[in-house]
Amino acid sequence: MQYMALPPEQREALMRSLEDMPQYLEHELHALRPELIRQPAPDGTFSPVEQVWHLADLEREGFGSRIDKLLSEREPQLPDFDGAAIAVARHYRSLSLTEGLDAFRTARRSNLAKLRGLAADADAWARSGQQEGLGKVSLCDLPSFMSQHDAAHRAEIAAWKAQLSL
In terms of C-beta density within 10 A (0-12 exposed, 13-18 middle, 19 or more buried), how is residue 85 classed? exposed
User: For position 44, what pLDDT does the model report?
Assistant: 86
Longest Cα pair distance anywhere in the chain, in angstroms?
A: 49
User: For position 5, what pLDDT does the model report?
Assistant: 84
User: For position 10, what pLDDT does the model report?
Assistant: 93
Phi, psi of 111, rounded to the nearest 5 degrees: -65, -40
User: For position 22, what pLDDT does the model report?
Assistant: 98
How far is it, in rounded angstroms, from Cα 90 to Cα 143? 26
In terms of C-beta density within 10 A (0-12 exposed, 13-18 middle, 19 or more buried), how is residue 133 classed? exposed
pTM, two decimal places: 0.94
Domains of the chain as residue ranges with CATH? 3-163 (1.20.120.450)
Q: Find the helix packing angle between 142-163 and 48-57, rounded to 10°.
A: 170
How far is it, in rounded angstroms, from Cα 84 to Cα 92? 10
Q: Which of 134, 132, 32, 46 is nearest to 90 (CA)?
A: 46
Helices (H), the chain: 8-29, 48-57, 65-72, 83-89, 97-117, 122-126, 142-163
Taking the CB of residue 118, how many other CB atoms lie within 10 A of it?
18
Q: What is the dihedral of CA 133, 18, 44, 84, to 10 degrees?
A: 40
CB 54 within 8 A of CB 83: yes
User: For position 120, what pLDDT does the model report?
Assistant: 78
Per-residue pLDDT of the chain (166 residues; tens, 9 = 90+): 488 788 889 999 999 999 999 999 999 998 899 889 999 988 888 999 999 999 999 999 999 999 999 999 999 999 899 999 999 999 999 999 999 999 999 999 999 999 999 987 889 999 999 999 889 999 999 999 999 999 999 999 999 999 888 7
